[in-house]
Structure 1
Amino acid sequence: MNLQKLFEMQRQLDEYIEREHPRQEGEDRLSKKILALMVELGELANEWRGFKFWSHDQVPRTRVLVNRTTDDIGFKNIGPEHIKNPLLEEYVDGLHFLLSIGLEIAEPQKIDIARWNAAEADNITEQFLHVMTHAINLGNTLRNNISYYPFEYEWLFLRYIQLGEMLGFTWEQIEEEYCKKNQINHERQDNGY
């Protein structure tokens, strides 16, 4: 995965959003981004389903057939069928916020998750908890003006990448889906989202 390419794409999207939705005086947009990341983590976990011990259906949502069969005036079979991967889509939604947070508090060109040689968790549930813990820790360090937030951000980033690997995503899949969703996000801004 070309992280610098993704950071640059995110920078362009963030600048567009800033123009369309200027920050309000006193607005803590960084805290909102951290909360948004945590919401996306929850949505990702929901698509993964592996924590739902009360359900017989714990199969991750990785394939959904989308078939647009009729248009507004009743014509049949107007759109091609395609498969989407809700699990990957939610992962990439979280990645957008993670990159956006990094653009505000870190120096993306200096991020080197390879230096962190941290073992992944024993299972995906534990990995989700690690990511959420680091997101909370990052929010707390920023809110309390503690200076080691770049360190906490890199840990969060590493754990998030590891989570994607544990969910079975390749770097290529993540980058491809990120590019698709980034384009959709630009189109949403164009259309007054």
Structure 2
Amino acid sequence: MNLTKLFEMQKVLDKRIVEDKGLQGHNLLPEKILALQVELGECANEWRGFKFWSEKNEPIVRVSNPIAHGNPLLEEYVDCVHFFISIAMYLKINPDDFVVTCDYTQPTITQTFNRVFSTVSSLDVLMDPETAASISLEDLQETLHEGFSCFVGLGEDMGFTWNQIEQAYFDKNAINHTRQDTGY
């Protein structure tokens, strides 16, 4: 897994958004953490495996609408990758240090989703001014790395290859730039 290209592309997109929206000097970490949590929820919603009450609890991996196409589950997964990388750059993590070396996945996909949610949520708790005095940048970096490692395993458990993830990331990055062009 080579994250360098993804980090470079995300850096360009993040810089563009900050400049276009006049957000220079703003601490966007809380918004990025919330955005990642929302995208994780959207990814879980497309996976559907936790919906024990529903007859439709299989992953949505293709759009049934003839006008649209694609894999909604992969698209939501990649939206999360965007925010993981954006937060990693904000926390001064370089791509070589963000490589997955440990398997933090849990026995089931539901449990792994919960682990990722918990780890990402803990970033916000760690940023709380009441606890921030005892929390170092390294603590935040390690927490994000653990969450990302678990998230990569989640993608593998859902059947995605790194090549699929990378290509979907490239595609979504282009869409995100187009959205910026059109005032999204």
Same-fold call, TM cutoff 0.5: yes
After TM superposition, the structure 1 = structure 2 runs for residues 96-175 of structure 1, keeping only pairs within 5 Å, are: 96-115=82-101, 117-143=102-128, 144-145=131-132, 146-147=135-136, 148-175=139-166
| Pairwise CA distance, 1:128 | 0.2
* Identity percentage of aligned residues: 45
Task: State the aligned residue count.
Answer: 178
After TM superposition, the structure 1 = structure 2 runs for residues 12-161 of structure 1, keeping only pairs within 5 Å, are: 12-23=12-23, 27-68=26-67, 83-115=69-101, 117-143=102-128, 144-145=131-132, 146-147=135-136, 148-161=139-152
Contact 2:116 2:151 in 1 (8 A): yes
Q: Deviations over 1:115-153 (max 9, x none)?
A: 3x2342100000000100110111222233211111111
Q: Distance in 1 between matches of 2:148 and 2:142?
A: 10
1:8 is aligned to 8
What stretches of structure 2 of length at least 5 have no aligned partner? Answer: none
Contact 2:74 2:168 in 1 (8 A): yes
Q: Report SS of the residue matched to 1:23.
A: coil
Q: Distance in 2 between matches of 1:110 and 1:99?
A: 12
| Pairwise CA distance, 1:112 | 4.2
Bigger Rg, which one: 1
Q: Distance in 1 between matches of 2:83 and 2:27?
A: 15
Q: Distance in 2 between matches of 1:186 and 1:49?
A: 29
Q: Report SS of the residue matched to 2:69.
A: strand
Code of the residue aligned with 1:120 in structure 2: it is T
Q: Distance in 1 between matches of 2:144 and 2:30?
A: 13
TM-score of the superposition, structure 1-length normalised? 0.86
CA pair 139-34 structure 1, distance change in 2 beyond 3 A: same
What stretches of structure 1 of length at least 5 have no aligned partner? Answer: 69-81
CA pair 163-29 structure 1, distance change in 2 beyond 3 A: same
Q: Distance in 1 between matches of 2:46 and 2:100?
A: 28
| Pairwise CA distance, 1:66 | 4.4
